Amino acid sequence: NAGVMQNPRHLVRRRGQEARLRCSPMKGHSHVYWYRQLPEEGLKFMVYLQKENIIDESGMPKERFSAEFPKEGPSILRIQQVVRGDSAAYFCASSPPVSGNTIYFGEGSWLTVV
């Protein structure tokens, strides 16, 4: 049973470019969460999605960031016009559609903005 798959694992972008991070949840999981981890800081919640719905995006910056989880295909976290401060590890996690279940993390995507 494959775990949560994230790609790319490492991404380098120049300031002003776009970054797209993909997350395929575990089989049978319909809930996806995105977190950002800055160097020397903890995990910051960004967005919580179910298939075709954004449930909670209270942690998403208002500009340049967007997320989707289409009916088919992976969840995508999109960062437009990246700036140096976007450099971080972005972790995706997934859980099954049952209250109280555990979330399982992917190995993360490390974004470096140069």
Beta carbons within 8 Å of 7's beta carbon, 6+ residues apart: 21, 22, 109
Q: Looking at beta carbons only, is 8 or 16 nearer to other proteins?
A: 8
When binding is defined by CB under 8 A, the residue of 17, 51, 107, 112 that contacts other proteins is 107
When binding is defined by CB under 8 A, the residue of 67, 93, 111, 113 that contacts other proteins is 93
Please give the residue ranges that form the binding site for other proteins (CB under 8 A): 33, 35, 41-43, 45, 48, 55-56, 91, 93, 99-100, 102-108
